[in-house]
Amino acid sequence: MNARIAIAGGGTGGHVTPALALGEALRERGAELVFVGAERGIEKKLVPDAGFELVLLDARPLIGRGIGERIGALFALGRATLAARRLLRERRIQLVVSVGGYASAPAAFAAALSRIPLALVNTDAVPGAANRAMARFATRIFAGFAGAQEALGPLGARTVVTGVPLRRALREKFADAASAARADASRPAHLFVFGGSLGARQINELMIALAKPLAEARVEIFHQTGEADRERVAAAYQEAGARAEVVAFEREMPRRYAWADLVVCRAGAISVAELALAGRAALLVPLGHVGGGEQFANARELERTGAARVLNSRDLSAADFSSALFELLGDRARLAEMGAKAAASAKPNATSEIAEACLALAGGPR
């Protein structure tokens, strides 16, 4: 009989993307899967689009909410946990895999109450609130970065540092892009800028402020801005005479990484894993006002290998950003060295390693 596994979590792309990557790998290995998410999360669209069954529960975020919303979220969590427990029993689930986020809590709690093996996938260098709460009940914890293992203290013995699971199609595109020949250093520097799928207002503003000096330095720019800022950023580059292509959203990220000499971006776990796969130098501006400092911790993981420079997003001035940016762009040999160090830290087999371990935990065929 094939392994019966529930994958729980979502709410944001940073949780749903690893869940889908793992789901694809487990499906290829014959596992019977059901995804468990939140009615308010983006998994409501992304999981069915990928061809998976999805059960939605009334899970609600607790962090950063007022007292009334927290009370309501706790009552909802109790009801959702009971519903998840019924689901696990009816489907005879052998393993629950939590990818984190508030959407994961009901099924993870239900697994603990039902004495079903629980595996956690923690993509960030700092464990999120849901995974911290459930770590004591987990049979195995798969960490994207060594920092997460250290942060879990005594529970680190249950933790394996595997890297961040990425979807097969994306990994294959990165492999193809990496084989492309690099142009020689005599051409203008290539700068790839993005702030996540929705863009980043802070990064966009910093780039607008530097449009003229970048034009004068003949830097070629590809900038994903998000829809809200696209026209304004494009106009600023055009007025400055900069060589820039501006898009709201970019679907061919591996090709853009391959084109770039330097990448400017936030430091979500997926972005950091992609930078390593692409082998590209980075100037990271971690988002500082969400969660428990996960992006700063992710960025430091890449920085300590020598693959990135990290700027504090809090009160970051255009002058400080400009100094760091032009220092890197002016040293092509350093950028190549940083890229090589990024590539050395890549973990392209993370998805398959986690999938194989999950099948073993579920007692299913391998």
pLDDT at 246 over 70: yes
Which residue range is the domain that position 318 belongs to? 170-344
Q: Do residue 191 and residue 152 come from a single domain?
A: no
Q: Do residue 71 and residue 210 come from a single domain?
A: no
Q: Do residue 152 and residue 295 come from a single domain?
A: no
pLDDT at 179 over 70: no
Mean pLDDT within 265-275: 95
Q: Do residue 136 and residue 178 come from a single domain?
A: no
Closest CA to 283 of 189, 163, 185, 193: 193
228 contacts 257 by C-beta, under 8 angstroms:
no
In which band, very low, low, confident or very high, does the pLDDT at 75 lie, cut at 50, 70 and 90?
confident
- Please state, as a whole number, how many other Cβ atoms lie within 10 Å of the Cβ of residue 255: 17
Q: Do residue 91 and residue 106 come from a single domain?
A: yes
Q: Do residue 227 and residue 248 come from a single domain?
A: yes
pLDDT at 178 over 70: no
Q: Do residue 330 and residue 357 come from a single domain?
A: no
| Rounded-to-integer distance, Cα 208 and Cα 148, Å | 35
The pLDDT > 70 percentage for the chain reads: 95
| DSSP 8-state secondary structure symbol assigned to residue 284 | E
Q: Do residue 254 and residue 305 come from a single domain?
A: yes
Q: Do residue 100 and residue 153 come from a single domain?
A: yes
Query: Burial of 112 by CB count in 10 Å (0-12 exposed, 13-18 middle, 19+ buried)?
Result: middle
| DSSP 8-state secondary structure symbol assigned to residue 59 | -
Total domains in the chain come to: 2
Q: Do residue 254 and residue 142 come from a single domain?
A: no
Q: Check residue 290 and give its pLDDT.
A: 57
Closest CA to 193 of 185, 203, 183, 202: 203
In tens, the pLDDT along 198-240 reads: 669 999 999 999 999 999 999 999 999 999 999 999 999 999 9
Closest CA to 294 of 172, 91, 148: 148
Q: Do residue 17 and residue 119 come from a single domain?
A: yes
Strands (E), 194-327: 220-224, 243-247, 262-265, 281-284, 308-310
pLDDT at 99 over 90: yes
Torsion of CA 366, 168, 271, 262, to 10 degrees: 130
pLDDT at 11 over 90: no
Q: Which sign does the torsion angle of CA 226, 200, 224, 11 carry?
A: negative
Q: Do residue 93 and residue 177 come from a single domain?
A: no
Mean pLDDT within 93-108: 95
174 contacts 254 by C-beta, under 8 angstroms:
yes
In which band, very low, low, confident or very high, does the pLDDT at 64 lie, cut at 50, 70 and 90?
low
Which tokens sit at 106? 């009901």
In tens, the pLDDT along 250-265 reads: 989 999 999 999 999 9
* 3-state SS assignment for residue 159: strand
Mean pLDDT within 171-190: 74
CATH code, 159: 3.40.50.2000
Closest CA to 76 of 96, 103, 101, 55: 103
- CA angle, 72 then 77 then 81, to 5°: 155
